[in-house]
Each structure stands twice: as C-alpha cells, then as structure tokens.
Amino acid sequence: MPSAELKHTFHIAAPPTAVFAHLAEPSHYIGLSPLLVAVRDVRRDGGTVHYTAVERFRFLGLLRHDNVIGVTLVAAPEGLPESAEISGEVRSPGRVRMGYRFAIDRHGSGSVVTDTLNLQTPAGLLRFSLSQAGAVQRARARVLTERLARSV
C-alpha cells in the first residue's frame, strides 16, 4: 500500500508534564482535530488505551459522513519531567492506517512537541489522506497551544 510520513514541530508554553497529561487522555482529542466529534468505548490497560473515535467529514457542505475509527494510544511517561512520548495507531474503514507519535521535550520553561504521522492507504487515497492529516496536524498544534497556554 502507498505510504507517507508527515512531521510537524511546534512550541508550547506548558511544561512536558502538562502536555503529556493532556495528550494521554482520549476525551481531550475532541476539538484537537477539526474532524473528531466523539470518543467512546474507552478501555484502559496500564499505559495503553483502546477507544473508538468518530471523525465527521463534510462534502460539498451538504453531505456528511461519520468515519468510525479504532484507536490505540500508548502513554510513555518514563522521561518526565524532561520528556515523554505518546504513540499509537489509528485503523479506519477502507484499510487506511495511521501510526502516530508525539515526542514531548522540555524547552526552557515550556515544551517542544514533534507530531509525526505515518500513513498507509489503499491506492488512490494517499493524496486525500495526506491533505486531511496535514490540516489536522496543523490545527492540533494551534488548538493544543491555545488550550495549554490558558492552564499555565
């Protein structure tokens, strides 16, 4: 299957512990992505969380499609308070797969976050998936930065 990687690095005024705590909680992803409208069926097993998320796509402003996806989230806090990692996998209908990783590192009194996405799609879907994932990645950086600036 065709694949590609997207990487986006950004700074947040909050320390790594606050960024990690926010990204380790599935319900906090609602609104971090302009597509994500619901999180349900959350199951925790130590540092691993499995849940179902609902992405809402709109086509031509009229048609709506809710894409139900399975998500695995692995929280690795071992390097805190200096660094931490959140990683996992998203499985979407239509055989779209995405691995993700947030590397969180102390930078002065705040953090630098590197958001890496690895997409695998069936032929013909890579360009659309990349455009959607890139837009979500940029929006996530903006919203996360705004959310955590209020808590500092």
Contact 31, 22 (CB under 8 A): no
With 70 as the cut, is the pLDDT of residue 131 above it?
A: yes
State mean pLDDT over 110-124: 93
Tell me the whole-structure pTM to 2 decimals: 0.90
Which tokens hold the place of 117? Answer: 């996405």
Cβ-count burial of 71 within 10 angstroms (0-12 exposed, 13-18 middle, 19+ buried)? buried
Peptide bond connecting 2 to the previous residue in cis, omega within 30 degrees of 0: no
With 90 as the cut, is the pLDDT of residue 75 above it?
A: yes
User: What's the pLDDT score for residue 28?
Assistant: 94
Percent of the chain exceeding pLDDT 70 equals 99
User: What's the pLDDT score for residue 139?
Assistant: 92
